[in-house]
């Protein structure tokens, strides 16, 4: 059971909620904080002083006073009007992460929601009620208003959702009924509390950075297999070269590559080959992979903070009884972090594709053309490298920072926006593309190892090669590479190759 307290949620716990349906519960101390903040809202709602989000309109309508009798309707209308998203729905894992993050932020005790409403959100998550959330419609200004409105509509019995993995899309009331739940009746500020924050973009970006970290480890495995298959040197990875330029990611990647290549019979066979230096895509792998790793480390730090940050507006301070308007909903930190994820996976992909090109080019590899023994009759992996090139080129178009853009919205009240959702969606797409590129390299590198038999790769890499071969046989006669690329991509995404390795890949 993962306890939500607004302070200690980790990205690994978030992924377990998203992918493994890990159950969650409200921490007892957090519950007291939620109740204290709600008491402040109730006092303000009973008075006549205009307070944004409680008895006024929203955005550029903030100066419009709402009568006390209509405060519940105000919150329902907020959810309805803000559910303006379009495009393909977010995957269920991203929606689950959104739900968990929003519940965690509300548990922090600065939003003024009723505990009963928060409990209903947590119950929906645990009962696998997954709202249908269109992926487009947020500029990351007052947070991710449209995606969170689509999510929250289901709690009041509107919108649409799936339940417990059944692909059938139900209206919100039917989805709740199937899960044995009743709709919630919103009270003052609760609609705003449910949708004001960065939880959609944070959810997508957080899942992307975890995938990017796995990809970085798989990229080290792919590079090591390629370097061995290309009969490259392990000396560029010696620690003494890297401790004098001590970027943490570079040091870690070099250490991985050095340990992965130790005691390789293939390497021993060309110990005195006379080659002075390998190509950059081989000997500079730690520098490039390491820079990507450091970008992911920055993104992780930002997203870990954001996962436990109060992003509502206005903020409720129970200790002083005040409700204060601010701008914690602005997604700039998330946008920049997500843009860095894209740039990082692009670095992994571009250098991986260059190693793939060397593997299929007999002039550069010394191996059979396109890694097939009967080239001409067979085309081997000619098109696999072309696919890698296509993916890399698409990745380059994604690398322009979304955070460089801004566009005024809400009658110019929101005159600077973050584009954090666009950045996060790009990060998810970039991760998918880059995973395919690294999968192609691993496919080709394993074939190169096979062509060098009876020489074998290192003891550390041999189980990785065997894990690939358990699902993807050696290429003899031509066959479509696409299914094999998909299989290896899945192994990368699940961390299966890292687990198969005979040593720890950091």
Phi, psi of 262 (to 5 degrees): -65, 140
Let me know how many helices (H) and strands (E) the chain has, helices first. 21, 9
Which value, in Å, is the radius of gyration of the alpha carbons in the chain? 26
CA distance 346 to 158: 40
Q: For residues 173 and 75, what is the distance between their CA atoms, to the nearest angstrom?
A: 18
Which tokens in the block code for residue 30? 């957090």
Contact 439, 241 (CB under 8 A): no
**Cβ(358)–Cβ(281) below 8 Å:** yes
Q: Cis omega before residue 355 (within 30°)?
A: no
230 near 358, Cβ under 8 Å? yes
How far is Cα 131 from Cα 169, in angstroms, rounded to an integer? 9
Sheet holding 129-131, edge to edge: 129-131, 160-163, 166-171
On whether the CB atoms of residues 358 and 443 are closer than 8 A, the answer is no
Distance of CA 479 to the CA centre of its chain: 33
Task: Write the CB contacts of 405 (distance below 8 Å, at least 6 apart in sequence).
Answer: 419, 422
Half-sphere exposure of 228 (CA within 13 A, CB side): 35
Please give the positions annotated as active site. Answer: 52
DSSP for residue 7: S
CB of 227 closer than 8 Å to CB of 452: no
Task: Say if residue 134 is exposed, middle or buried (CB neighbours under 10 Å; 0-12, 13-18, 19+).
Answer: middle
Cα separation of 492 and 490, whole Å? 5
Residue 286: which of 358, 356, 208, 234 has the closest Cα?
234
Contact 162, 175 (CB under 8 A): yes
Q: Coil, strand, or helix at residue 18?
A: helix
Exposure class string for 25-37: b at 16+ Cβ within 10 A, else e: ebbeebbebbebb
Closest CA to 355 of 456, 222, 174: 222
Cα gap 144→84, rounded to integer Å: 11
Residues sharing a CB contact under 8 Å with residue 61, sequence separation 6 or more, in sequence order: none
Residue 310 phi/psi, 5-degree rounding, is -80, 115
């Amino acid at each position: 059971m993962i306890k939500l307290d607004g302070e200690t949620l980790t990205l690994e716990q978030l992924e377990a909620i998203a992918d493994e349906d890990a159950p969650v519960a409200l921490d007892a101390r957090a519950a007291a904080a939620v109740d204290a903040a709600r008491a402040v809202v109730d006092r303000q709602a009973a008075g006549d002083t205009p307070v944004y989000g409680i008895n006024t309109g929203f955005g550029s309508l903030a100066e419009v006073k709402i009568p006390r009798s209509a405060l519940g309707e105000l919150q329902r209308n907020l959810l309805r009007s803000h559910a303006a998203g379009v495009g393909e729905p977010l995957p269920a894992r991203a929606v689950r992460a959104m739900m968990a993050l929003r519940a965690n932020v509300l548990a922090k005790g600065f939003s003024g929601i009723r505990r009963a409403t928060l409990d209903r959100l947590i119950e929906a998550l645990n009962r696998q009620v997954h709202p249908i959330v269109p992926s487009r419609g947020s500029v990351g200004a007052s947070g991710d208003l449209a995606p969170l409105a689509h999510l929250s509509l289901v709690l009041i019995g509107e919108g649409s959702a799936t339940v417990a993995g059944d692909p059938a899309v139900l209206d919100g009331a039917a989805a709740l009924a199937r899960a044995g739940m009743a709709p919630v009746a919103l009270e003052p500020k609760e609609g705003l509390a449910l949708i004001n924050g960065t939880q959609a973009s944070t959810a997508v970006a957080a899942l992307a950075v975890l995938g990017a970290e796995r990809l970085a480890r798989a990229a080290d495995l792919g590079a090591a297999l390629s370097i061995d298959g290309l009969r490259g040197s392990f000396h560029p990875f010696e620690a003494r070269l890297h401790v004098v330029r001590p970027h943490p990611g570079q040091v870690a990647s070099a250490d991985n590559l050095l340990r992965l290549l130790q005691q390789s019979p293939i390497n021993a066979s060309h110990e005195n080959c006379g080659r002075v230096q390998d190509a950059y895509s081989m000997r500079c792998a730690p520098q490039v992979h390491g820079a990507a790793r450091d970008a992911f480390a920055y993104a992780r730090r930002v997203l870990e903070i954001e996962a436990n940050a109060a992003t509502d507006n206005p903020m409720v301070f129970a200790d002083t009884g005040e409700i204060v308007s601010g701008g914690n909903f602005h997604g700039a930190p998330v946008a920049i972090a997500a843009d860095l994820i894209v740039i990082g996976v692009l670095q992994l992909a571009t250098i991986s594709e260059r190693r793939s090109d060397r593997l299929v080019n007999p002039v550069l590899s010394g191996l059979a053309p396109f890694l097939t023994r009967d080239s001409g009759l067979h085309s081997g992996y000619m098109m696999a490298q072309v696919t890698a090139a296509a993916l890399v080129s698409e990745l380059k178009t994604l690398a322009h920072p979304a955070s460089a853009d801004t566009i005024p919205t809400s009658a110019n009240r929101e005159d600077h926006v973050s584009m954090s959702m666009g950045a996060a969606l790009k990060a998810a797409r970039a991760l998918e593309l880059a995973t395919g590129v690294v999968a192609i390299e691993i496919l080709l590198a394993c074939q190169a190892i096979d062509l060098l038999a009876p020489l074998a790769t290192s003891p550390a890499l041999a189980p990785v090669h065997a894990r690939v071969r358990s699902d993807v046989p050696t290429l003899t006669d031509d066959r479509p590479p696409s299914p094999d690329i998909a299989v290896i991509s899945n192994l990368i995404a699940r961390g299966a190759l890292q687990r198969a390795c005979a040593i720890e890949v950091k």
